[in-house]
Amino acid sequence: MKKVAILGGGGTGCCFAAALTLRGFEVHLYEDKKYWNEHIDGILKTGGIEVTGHDVTGFARIASITDNLEEAIRDVDVIFVCMVAWRHLWLAEALKPLVHEGQTIILSAGNFGSIRIKQFLGMASPVVVGEMLGNIFPCRMIGDGKAIIAFPYGPKTVAAFPAKDNDKVVAAMSQFLMCSAAKNVFETALNVPNLVNHLAGSILNTCAIDRNPAFALYQDGLSEHVIDVQVAVENEKAQVIQAMGYMMVNHTGLCRQLVQYDKFPEKDAFRSLAGPDSMHHRYITEDASTGQSLIIDLAERLGIEMPVMKALVLLASVINKCDFRADGLKLKDLGMGNLHTPEEINEFLYTGCVK
């Protein structure tokens, strides 16, 4: 039986661990003990995870759940990372003395974390690092040992940093799930649906989120006017995608289906997914500080205006009493401070080196 490690005991990590277990793999799930109260304690109480929804279903008994990182990744070839972006640097530091040649690290969702982890490990490290386009699937833990997967897994694009290792990361992930290669990790990270839908939908629903901790964005927060703003964000993103020579993935078409509440009943499970439960939720803080911040910085390098994204990040900053633009992820944080053209950036993403 093929062994795999999943790092991160949030909703994605737990649901992914259950899904791979039900697919016949031996899963070793890691989470720091201080986060066990979120989902792990409930899983241990029930002895596993009962999965419902639109992917694999059934009761999954995870092979091991541990707060010992070395134990979790021992004797596994593939390590999936399902952690929020602000944990990636901590994880890189923790993994550096533990990982070895023959292992592959794949992030879901990546949020450019593959670049930061590979750079921390060292570009000479034989460990392959990559990330996939978006999350494995939309999902939630909905109670002690209970999970729902809203959409079935569909083949994803995945890329390595540096992209010259794309074939290696595709081969590693293909042992578990169907996938194909993207051009590089910017193509995957800039095409995530979160970049288009989360921040715009959340900011326009600030009052409703403040009043309702059980708020569900795709059930309670969509309207034609909200989608108009999401489309404006998508149009701004499209300019950057085109300038960089990447494949464009559109996401607002799904929102137009979701808002037709009397139609598409197969999407009801997705509509019901909870979140954000406050204006400090990752839908706001992670997206404003990572995806939105980076694409705005990239757009400025390319001479592309991003008025809608900038306005949303500004409002998110005011609400959270911080400055996501000033403190958020920038090209310089990824070793690209002196790169200005698409050709220079794409060459760096392929080779991992600055000429």
Give CA–CA dist 152/142, Å, rounded: 17
Rounded CA separation 77/303 (Å):
42
- What per-residue string of b and e applies to 276-287 under the rule 16 or more CB within 10 Å gives b? beebebbbbbbb
145, 43 Cβ separation under 8 angstroms: yes
Q: Which domains are assigned to the chain?
A: 3-188 (3.40.50.720), 193-351 (1.10.1040.10)
- 97: which 2 tokens? 């003395």
**Hey, is 31 helix, strand or coil?**
coil
Residue-wise pLDDT tens for the chain (355 aa)? 799 999 999 999 999 999 999 999 999 999 999 999 999 999 999 999 999 999 999 999 999 999 999 999 999 999 999 999 999 999 999 999 999 999 999 999 899 999 999 999 999 999 999 999 999 999 999 999 999 999 999 999 999 999 999 999 999 999 999 999 999 999 999 999 999 999 999 999 999 999 999 999 999 999 999 999 999 999 999 999 999 999 999 999 999 999 999 999 999 999 999 999 999 999 999 999 999 999 999 999 999 999 999 999 999 999 999 999 999 999 999 999 999 999 999 999 999 998 7
Task: Say what the pTM is.
Answer: 0.97
139: nearest Cα among 305, 273, 311? 273
